């Protein structure tokens, strides 16, 4: 057990923020998360004005070794929030609603495949496809819980196997991407040294990866927090509130954090 009292950290919002598909509230205030070959349960103890308290069902060592970095605990999100334009009404609303979201440091390969799957799918459908894929090709962590498959594991899948995981036309995208990565085993690591722009361009070379999927992979798999993925929700926000242009320069270096606040608020609160 490891208890944490912390600001700008809200598990429920993070689980529902669209950056992760393997994080669920399985009972009220009780969460299940699968990352790499780790399974973690988290209990919400209290949600406060400033700080929230959580109990992580793991040792302090495991938390410090892995989860602290994974949850981006040591980044000062107040710094980002203070930089937001006080006169920007939409962003101020978004912040008060979405405060608590952090950018998780997830696995590159998992993010790439997950966001290839995500196209033209609703979140429940994405989650269900990833679950099937993991159960079929990933390692068993404990009974009924499976890790996301590694490249080696997923490469064993035939097009038929993949289609059976409700992937539809995305099956060939995943097959070809796995094939390319097997032939170029250091590709995903090598491109991490590139500039954000070159990283996204490199990812776009993969079959089934366009600008949106590449940006999501960069933001959530490479922690390139300046990436600003534009999906239908963000596009709606941009059209409605920033028809004269969004001030990207102002948020240079952390636009992805702002994007997450905008997305969460736009999708969950600012409907229509």
Partner DNA sequence: GCGCAGGTAATCT
Partner DNA sequence: AGATTACCTGCG
19 near DNA, rule: CB under 7 A:
yes
Instruction: Tell which one of 85, 140, 156, 210 touches DNA (CB under 7 A).
Output: 210
| Interface with DNA, residue 106, by CB under 7 A | no
Residue 120 touching DNA (CB under 7 A)? yes
Question: If we measure between CA atoms, which residue out of 269, 262, 271 comes closest to residue 94?
Answer: 262
Q: Among residues 52, 166, 202, 227, which is the contact residue for DNA, using CB under 7 A?
A: 166
From candidates 48, 76, 169, 269, binder to DNA by CB under 7 A:
169
Closer CB to DNA, 1 or 211, in the complex: 211
Instruction: State both tokens at 172.
Output: 């060939």
Nearest to 177 by CA among 110, 113, 106, 121: 113
Q: Cα-flanking dihedrals φ and ψ of residue 43, to 5°? A: -110, 130
With CB under 7 A as the contact rule, which of the stretches 15-23, 72-80, 149-157, 242-250 interacts with DNA?
Answer: 15-23
Contact call for residue 100 and DNA (CB under 7 A)? no
By DSSP bridging, strand 51-56 and strand 38-47 are: antiparallel
From residue 66, give the alpha-carbon distance in Å to each of 69, 131, 159, 169.
Answer: 6, 23, 34, 35
Nearer to DNA, 52 or 114 (CB): 114
> H or E segment at 90?
helix 89-98
Residues that bind DNA (CB under 7 A): 17-19, 118-125, 128, 163, 166-170, 173, 204, 206-214, 216, 229, 231-233, 263, 267
């Amino acid at each position: 057990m490891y208890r944490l009292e912390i600001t700008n950290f809200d598990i429920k919002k993070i689980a529902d923020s669209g950056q992760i598909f393997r994080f669920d509230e399985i009972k009220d205030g009780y969460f299940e998360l699968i990352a790499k070959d780790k399974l973690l349960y988290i209990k919400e103890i209290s949600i406060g004005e400033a700080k929230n308290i959580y109990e992580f069902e793991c040792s302090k060592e495991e938390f410090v070794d892995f989860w602290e970095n994974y949850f981006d605990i040591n980044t000062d999100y107040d710094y980002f929030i203070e930089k937001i334009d006080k006169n920007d009404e939409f962003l101020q609303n978004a912040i008060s609603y979405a405060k608590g979201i952090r950018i998780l440091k997830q696995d590159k390969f998992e993010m790439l495949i997950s966001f290839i799957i995500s196209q033209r799918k609703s979140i429940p459908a994405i989650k269900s496809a990833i679950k099937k894929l993991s159960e079929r090709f990933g390692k068993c962590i404990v009974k009924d819980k499976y890790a996301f498959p590694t490249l080696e594991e997923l490469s064993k899948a035939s097009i038929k196997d993949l289609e059976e995981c409700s992937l539809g036309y995305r099956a060939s995208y995943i097959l070809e991407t796995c094939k390319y990565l097997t032939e170029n085993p250091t590709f995903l690591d090598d491109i991490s040294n590139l500039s954000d722009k070159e990283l996204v361009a490199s990812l776009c070379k993969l079959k089934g990866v366009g600008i949106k999927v590449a940006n999501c992979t960069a933001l959530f798999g490479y922690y390139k927090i300046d990436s600003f993925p534009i999906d239908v929700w963000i596009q709606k926000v941009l059209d409605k509130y920033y028809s004269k242009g969004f001030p990207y320069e102002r948020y240079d270096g952390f636009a992805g954090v702002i994007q997450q606040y905008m997305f969460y608020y736009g999708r969950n609160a600012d409907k229509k």
